[in-house]
Structure 1
Amino acid sequence: MANTPQAKKRIRRNDRRAVVNGNRVGRIRTFVKKVELALLAGDKAVAAEALAAAQPEMARGVAKGVLHKNTVARKFSRLSKRVAALG
Structure 2
Amino acid sequence: MPNIKSAIKRVKVAEKANAANVQVKSAMRTAIKKAETALVAKDENAAELLTAAVKSVDKAASKGLIHKNAASRTKARLMKKA
Check whether TM > 0.5.
Answer: yes
In 2, the alpha carbon distance for the partners of 1:22 and 1:57 equals 13
In 1, Cα distance between equivalents of 2:30 and 2:21:
14
Match of 1:35 in 2: 35
CA distance in 1, matches of 2:23, 2:11: 19
- Which residue of 2 is the match for residue 81 of structure 1? 80
SS in 1 for 2:65: coil
Deviates most, 57-66 or 13-22: 57-66
- Once the two structures are TM-superposed, the CA of residue 38 in structure 1 deviates from its matched residue by 0.9
Percentage of pairs with the same residue = 35
Q: How many residues align?
A: 82
Structure 1's unaligned 5+ residue stretches are none
Which amino acid in 2 is paired with 1:16?
K
Per the TM alignment, residue 47 of structure 1 is displaced from its structure 2 partner at its CA by 2.7
Deviation at 1:49, TM superposition (A): 2.5
Unaligned regions of 5+ residues in structure 2, if any?
none
Shift of 1:39: 2.4
Aligned-pair Cα RMSD in Å = 1.6
1:2 deviates by 2.4
Counterpart residue number, 2:21 = 21
* Deviations 1:20-77 (CA, angstroms, capped at 9, x unpaired): 1111011111111111111231x16533321112111111111122121111110000
